[in-house]
Amino acid sequence: MSLPELRSSDPVGSKAARRGLIPRFWGRVFGWFRQGPEPSEMPTSGIEVVSSRSADDSAWSSAVNPSHGAADSLSPAVGLAADSTVHVLWEQGDEIYHSYRTGDIWSSPVRVAMGERPTLVVDDTGTVHALFANEFGGNWEIYHVSWRYDVWSLPRNISHTSGASGTPRIALAPDGILYGVWADTTPGYSVIYHAHQENGYWVSGPIPSARGSVPALAVDAQDRLHVIWQDQDTPSSPFEIYYSRWDGYGWSLPENISATAGAHSAIADLALDRQGIAYLVWEEEMGSGWQIRHSYGQVGYWSVPANISQSPDECHLARLVVTPQDYLHVVWTDGTTLRSCRKGAQASDWFPTERIASNPLGLQDVALAAAPDGRVHAVWAGRVAGGQRDIFHSERASALKHSLIFPLIMKDG
């Protein structure tokens, strides 16, 4: 079984659709990408493209398409403003597009810049900050843009390396500082870079001993930076999930969290609770397929990884978020269905899984974010009749139910 870097259906740069396992721009460095069916093989009628709903599906809203089907769309990212405005970015061709929802109305998609693999956060002022990768002058670099008052800034190169930079992720610290991570081939092999913005300027550098790809990051209430990525101990070893933390003075030694010597562990995601405990999910080879594994902990102390998907089908692309109310939500693709599960962040038991959407033509590129009120927002790319991919959005109400207790007043007589 070959290891994919990210499960998407087009190679970076060429965007050409081919069958089977194909190398992307990062193929020789990061791994392989799994293909879906050719558009000519897909049915064009009698299919369920977004979702059908039942009583068991009532937790998640019906899926809505903010990309409006203008062209093939993939790699969405989602972020929430303090006023609950939902912002979504995605790839469309070789460009990045943006749409946002206020109330129940989605804005018309607007082109942001040339590029791919967008990632976004929204700060306390409602300003959207995004990182993405783009090839300019023969080299792939990471760029930062921001959106305020319906205007996008010009892209600014924040990587400035001689190697190829890609798969960025962005996070916002409680003190308002922006952080980013990405994979970079400047040393001649792939390493993890991190960056932070101060006074409008970005400062970047490699994380010590962090060789690998597909990073993710989060910042806790103490402004400590937590980073995970995938890497191999040797060229013939399976991929494992590694973790390191910056405490303001230095980086902790990378720790192997997945620790499965006989199977690939890949494409991890990371979130933190209010106490700074780190929660990780990733996809892992188990037998002839893939399942979703979960672990939590802090430097030097980690839970034994557990299979939380428990599915007979292939499970991929796990994403997770911890709400401000310390509720943990995980979303992943389970065959042709997008599923979620949840629990209190530090609770031991999971609630039953919930179905968000189903699509027999295929789901990919999942992203997740939480609103201040505890609502969870999921976006993903899905095939529609004719082979084109569109972006879909669904949300779940807060898992915590609010109740009002009225005083009981009794009168004599």
- The string of pLDDT tens digits covering residues 226-256 is 999 999 988 889 999 999 999 989 999 999 9
pLDDT at 412: 58
Could you tell me if residue 5 is inside a domain? no
pLDDT at 38 > cutoff 90: no
Domain of 242? Answer: 54-396
* pLDDT in the model for residue 331: 98
| pLDDT, mean of residues 202-209 | 96
- Output phi, psi for 216, to 5 deg: -140, 160
* Residue 39 CB contacts under 8 Å (≥ 6 apart), including other chains: 17, 386, 387, 388
Region of poorest pLDDT, from 44-53, 329-338, 354-363: 44-53
Q: How far apart are CA 164 and CA 139, in angstroms?
A: 6
Percent of the chain residues topping a pLDDT of 70: 83
Residue 172 has what DSSP assignment? E
Q: What is the pLDDT of residue 185?
A: 97
In a domain, 113, yes or no: yes
Q: Average pLDDT, stretch 21-45?
A: 36
User: For residue range 49-82, what is the model confidence (pLDDT) as tens digits?
Assistant: 333 333 355 789 999 999 987 789 999 999 999 9
- H-helix or E-strand spanning residue 178: strand 178-184
Does a structural domain hold residue 402?
Answer: no
Q: Give a yes or no: residue 30 inside a domain.
A: no
What is the arithmetic mean of pLDDT over 161-172? 97
Query: What's the pLDDT score for residue 39?
Result: 36
Looking at residue 385, its pLDDT comes to: 85
| Cα 129 from Cα 119, distance rounded (Å) | 8
- Give CA–CA dist 365/145, Å, rounded: 21
Whole-number pLDDT of residue 88: 98
Torsion of CA 125, 126, 131, 137, to 10 degrees: -90
Query: Could you read off the pLDDT of 297-348 as tens digits, one per residue?
Result: 999 999 999 999 999 999 999 999 999 999 999 999 999 999 999 999 888 8
- Tell me the whole-structure pTM to 2 decimals: 0.86
How far out from the chain centre does Cα 413 lie? Answer: 63
Which of 7-16, 178-187, 398-407 has the highest mean predicted lDDT (pLDDT)? 178-187
pLDDT of residue 17: 28
Domain membership of residue 327 (yes or no) is yes
Position of tokens 């998640």? 60
From CA 358, how far away is CA 64, in angstroms rounded?
13
pLDDT at 323: 95
CA distance 300 to 118: 32
Length reported for the chain? 413
Number of domains in the chain: 1
Quote the CA–CA distance of 207 and 115 in Å, as a whole number.
25
Is residue 220 included in any domain, yes or no? Answer: yes
Residue 48: pLDDT above 60? no
Mean of pLDDT over the chain? 85
Kindly give, in sequence order, each residue whose CB lies less than 8 Å from that of residue 48, ignoring residues fewer than 6 positions away. 358, 359, 360
Confidence check: pLDDT of 19 > 90: no
pLDDT tier at 287 (50, 70, 90 boundaries)?
confident
CA distance linking residue 277 with residue 328, whole number of Å: 12
- How far from chain centre, in Å, is Cα 89? 12
Question: What local confidence, expressed as pLDDT, does residue 45 receive?
Answer: 32
Residue-level pLDDT at 407: 56
Q: CB 242: neighbour CB atoms within 10 A?
A: 26
Per-residue DSSP letters for 54-78?
Answer: -GGGTTBPPPB-SSTTSS-EEEEEE
d(CA 367, CA 321) in angstroms, rounded, equals 10
For 190, other C-beta atoms within 10 Å of its C-beta total 25
Q: Is 18 within the bounds of a domain? A: no
Q: Could you report the per-residue pLDDT of 136-149, keeping only the tens digit for each?
A: 889 999 999 999 99
Q: What is the CA 355 to chain-centroid distance, rounded?
A: 18
C-alpha to C-alpha distance for 326 and 321, rounded to whole angstroms: 9
Query: Residue 276 forms beta bridges with which residues?
Result: none
Q: The tokens of 105 are what?
A: 């109305």
CATH of residue 339: 2.120.10.10
Q: What is the mean pLDDT of residues 190-198?
A: 95
Is the CB of residue 66 less than 8 Å from the CB of residue 85?
Answer: no
Q: What mean pLDDT comes out for the span 77-102?
A: 96
Q: Which pLDDT value is given to residue 56? A: 53
Domain presence at residue 10: no
